[in-house]
Amino acid sequence: MKITVLTGGSTAERDVAFAGAAQVVVSLRNSGHDVTVVDTVTGPMTPERESKLLKSAVSRAAPDHSSVVNWRELEEQTGALGSSDVLNADLVVIILHGEQGEGGDLQEELDNAGVRYAGSGPTGSRNAMDKDRAKSLMREASVPTPDWVMWNGRDTDVTHLGFPLIVKPSRVGSTVGLSVVRRPEDLVSAVQEALLYDKDVMCELYVSGREFTVGVLGERALAVGEIIPEHEIFDYECKYTPGMSQEIFPAPVDEKLERRLKELALEVHRALGLKHFSRIDFLVSAEGVFCLEANTLPGMTGTSLLPQSAAAEGIDFDSLCNQICSLALA
């Protein structure tokens, strides 16, 4: 099958996308597929460029917002999505993160061009990418999620939430631009940091507890995993630096909690209108189980959380990639 992997992108998670694409490309080629790689910023990759970019490592530090602006300027000058490698592919596999890849516009362009792709469509992608919309849909589906407000200026009332708060850009992943705010006097500076990455900022009640994640493949909830970061939260450094977090699959939980997390993961997947695969993140505290967010294009390195969730169910990385492709073609 002729598969085109769309990767790179102009978001703060460009390096993360390349890291995932590197392993997906190898996996799909090992399975006998004819694979082409297209960077949405620079266009189709030559073998030399592919070899260089796909072997680059993810930095321990979160990217500076200025790099995002520079890549966007370059991206506007390329017609990567109109290349024959995309238009003539049997299937497009999207390894992109942040609003550009997961926000729905890319999916809408591919739909309009009649290109088949793996993953959620425009509506599901927009539902999950917009944290305010996602949490509202969770509430409508009776899925518990921490209380929140959207920032609308210095007079935004967060007093009913209390402190500490999580302040984060609404449409950015990998905890880029995220801060834990413990004092009212630190709120505005945290919002200003988040505004560097997105025009909409969420202030969310900080809930202390154990962090879990559940992969979803088709209509199946995969193994529950527990994340134990070295830092207070599972931040960028803990996500992408070996040894900075423990990721335990399957999680050491009783059958009742395991069943509850899997049920909620499928409920969120359906409520947001997601397709083919996703990863749903939770926090469990003394007050109960809370859904934090849904990821429509979760990380796809061999050690990323979705592949680990699948592996704990006996689905190795090559099988996971092939099953995702099969779901997209079904």
Task: Delineate the domains of the chain, giving CATH numbers in brackets.
Answer: 2-117 (3.40.50.20), 129-143+208-329 (3.30.470.20), 148-205 (3.30.1490.20)
pLDDT(267) > 70: yes
Average pLDDT over residues 1-5: 97
* pLDDT greater than 60 at residue 67: no
The mean-pLDDT minimum among 97-106, 228-237, 261-270 falls in 228-237
Tell how far CA 277 is from the center of its chain.
Answer: 11
Q: Of 138, 135, 134, which is closest to residue 148 (Cα–Cα)?
A: 135
Question: Could you tell me which residue, 232 or 229, shows the higher pLDDT?
Answer: 229
Are 68 and 92 within 8 A, CB to CB?
Answer: no
Give the bridge partners for 44, in sequence order.
Answer: 38
When pLDDT is averaged across residues 184-194 and rounded to a whole number, the result is 90
CA distance 17 to 80: 16
User: Rounded CA gap, 117 and 84, in Å?
Assistant: 15
Is-cis flag, bond preceding 146, omega within 30?
no
Rounded-to-integer distance, Cα 144 and Cα 141, Å? 9
Q: What residues act catalytically?
A: 13, 174, 240, 279, 281, 293, 295, 299
Percent of residues, the chain, with pLDDT higher than 90: 61
Highest mean pLDDT among 76-80, 243-247, 273-277: 273-277
This model's pTM is above 0.85? yes
